[in-house]
Amino acid sequence: RLGLVESGGGSVLAGGSLRLSCTTSGESGYTIDMLDMAWFRQAPGKELEGVATIGHDLHTSVADVVKGRFTISQDSAKDEMYLQMNDLKPEDTATYYCAATRGKVRGDSGLRNRYLYPDWGQGTQVVVSS
């Protein structure tokens, strides 16, 4: 297991920003830049949805619903992957999960298929109030 750990969630007012971080425990020997990774979210009473993906080749994809507001990136020196969320809206309220695979995820297929990612973090909650 990769031991993914998310951080950075919290409560903000609409229009605010948050940056989520994800890192590995290091026990597996894998670092962030060796993995294809993604952020998913699940709002209360709704299904899990893909938010953004980043490959080990740094190719990124972002779901249309957050495009222009959310950015996915990674810092290999810090061994961290990020989701920068700007102009947050109440409908962004959800638990956000970091996910990863040692394999290769083509294009934006990861946004539509959670099963491409076998390793998941415990989630971090984001609450956006109006």
Provide, rounded to the nearest whole percent, the portion of the chain with pLDDT above 90: 90
pLDDT digits (tens, 9 = 90+) for 98-122: 999 999 999 899 999 999 999 999 9
d(C-alpha 116, C-alpha 121), whole Å? 15
Are 120 and 6 in contact by the 8 Å Cβ rule? The answer is: no
pLDDT digits (tens, 9 = 90+) for 63-98: 999 999 999 999 999 999 999 999 999 999 999 999
Angle at 42 between CA 74 and CA 16, to 5 degrees: 60
The better pLDDT of the pair 106, 38 is held by: 38
